[in-house]
Amino acid sequence: MSTLELHDIGKSYNGVTVLEGIHLRVAEGSRTAIVGPSGSGKTTLLRIIAGFETPDQGQVRLQGKTLADNGVWIPAHQRGIGFVPQDGALFPHFSVAGNIGFGLKGSKREKQHHIDRLMDMVALDRRLASLWPHELSGGQQQRVALARALSQQPTLMLLDEPFSALDTGLRAATRKAVAELLAEAKVASILVTHDQAEALSFADQVAVMRNGNLAQVGQPQELYLRPVDEPTATFLGETLVLSANLEHGWADCVLGRIAVDDRLRRGHARIMLRPEQIQLGLSPQPAQRQAVVTHIDFAGFVSTLSLFMADSHETVEIKTISREGISVGSNVSLSILGQAHIFAD
């Protein structure tokens, strides 16, 4: 069963379309990530789901109940949806404990117990409870906002870039902790992020937003390996895109003959490989494609190599894990793992 269903959502501001034809289903207890460039409409969509913004058209349903439709409008506080906004938005005149306990009911002792538990859940030191929001770091503020949203035991949690103020190590750890916490509480969630690796690792379902549309929705691996088009492919990770001629499940391209994932397509097409599909060997094998390294851009873990291909006399740039034995002038051989993906257009 779906927790959330969005049907044909549209929104404009001052005659400018910000969202158009948005369809999305979020399964019970599942995790969805929405990724997309700045200004593509991610926050606007979350605000419509939360009830802070009205859609111009379309329907929002939560657990079968209509929240927004022509003439139907359930206000934000009656939706049972937790929202951690992009800027945290804590109440500045309430302490940390006051913020987290804002909507809690019960005796003073019960509330205190609940606040302690919520602070533990989001890994906030209990000693911070009496501080004011401005006395916290950006990352701590985000975790207070998360604890406050969790206190309402929502059926759906909306997270708008909740980890953006954390440094890389803490960010990964917090993301994992939040994912586990939401799974334990069986709360479905939608995470908005700019970070494709974060989206791919957090979510069961990834939705790629571009110019107010969802360009593609699917499982992380499916989107990563079979993106609908080139912008979606490059948005989700490093990509080698090549022009090719297709026939009977094979592509002829600058790298030679490569197996492709659609046997029926023929003629000219654009195909893609992920860098991990290209393996470089230092002892050239006769059956493999030969190339000479003409340039190396070293960037630590990965390097970008320019390779002059012996057969086609063309140069391709590939990203690869840096290796000490490869230098300008090295003869290398290439082998391709798996199949190249063909773009639809």
Interface contacts to Mg ion, rule CB under 5 A: 43
Exactly one of 20, 22, 41, 124 binds ligand ATP (CB under 6 A); that residue is: 41
Output the smallest distance, CB 169 to ligand ATP, in A.
23
Nearer to ligand ATP, 212 or 220 (CB): 212
Query: What distance in Å separates the CA atoms of residue 93 and residue 43, rounded to the nearest whole number?
Result: 25
SS (H, E, C) the chain: CEEEEEEEEEEEECCEEEEEEEEEEEECCCEEEEECCCCCCHHHHHHHHHCCCCCCEEEEEECCEEEEECCEECCHHHCCEEEECCCCCCCCCCCHHHHHCCCCCCCHHHHHHHHHHHHHHCCCCHHHHHCCHHHCCHHHHHHHHHHHHHCCCCCEEEEECCCCCCCHHHHHHHHHHHHHHHHHCCCEEEEEECCHHHHHHHCCEEEEEECCEEEEEECHHHHHHCCCCHHHHHHHCCCEEEEEEEECCEEEECCEEEEECCCCCCEEEEEEECHHHEEEECCCCCCCEEEEEEEEEEECCEEEEEEEECCCCCEEEEEEECCCCCCCCCEEEEEECCCEEECCC
Nearer to ligand ATP, 101 or 139 (CB): 139
Exactly one of 4, 6, 9, 18 binds ligand ATP (CB under 6 A); that residue is: 18
Q: Are 293 and 282 in contact (CB under 8 A)?
A: no
Exactly one of 38, 78, 107, 283 binds ligand ATP (CB under 6 A); that residue is: 38
Nearer to ligand ATP, 46 or 269 (CB): 46
Tell whether residue 13 is a contact of ligand ATP (CB under 6 A): yes
- Rounded to 10 deg, the angle between the 138-150 and 168-184 helix axes is 0
Nearer to ligand ATP, 42 or 226 (CB): 42
Nearer to Mg ion, 34 or 203 (CB): 34
Nearer to Mg ion, 36 or 51 (CB): 36
Exactly one of 32, 43, 216, 303 binds ligand ATP (CB under 6 A); that residue is: 43
Tell whether residue 162 is a contact of ligand ATP (CB under 6 A): no
Which x/- pattern, by CB under 6 A, does the window 62-91 give for ligand ATP? Answer: ------------------------x-----
Token pair 């991990």: residue: 276
Output the smallest distance, CB 149 to ligand ATP, in A.
18
Exactly one of 3, 32, 40, 216 binds ligand ATP (CB under 6 A); that residue is: 40
> Under rule CB under 6 A, which residues in 101-130 are in contact with ligand ATP?
none
Output the smallest distance, CB 217 to ligand ATP, in A.
16
Nearer to ligand ATP, 95 or 196 (CB): 196
Output the smallest distance, CB 314 to ligand ATP, in A.
37
Exactly one of 44, 95, 174, 196 binds ligand ATP (CB under 6 A); that residue is: 44
Query: What distance in Å separates the CA atoms of residue 148 and residue 255, rounded to the nearest whole number?
Result: 54
Output the smallest distance, CB 53 to Mg ion, in A.
12
Q: Are 328 and 315 in contact (CB under 8 A)?
A: no
Q: Are 32 and 218 in contact (CB under 8 A)?
A: no
Output the smallest distance, CB 77 to Mg ion, in A.
22
Output the smallest distance, CB 153 to ligand ATP, in A.
26
Q: Which stretch binds ligand ATP (CB under 6 A): 2-10, 37-45, 118-126, 131-139?
A: 37-45
Output the smallest distance, CB 324 to ligand ATP, in A.
39
Query: What distance in Å separates the CA atoms of residue 266 and residue 315, rounded to the nearest whole number?
Result: 25
Binding partner selected for residue 18 from ligand ATP, Mg ion, none, CB under the kind-specific 5 to 8 Å limit: ligand ATP
The DSSP bridge partners found for residue 306 are 295, 317
Q: Which residues bind ligand ATP (CB under 6 A)?
A: 13, 18, 36, 38-44, 86, 194
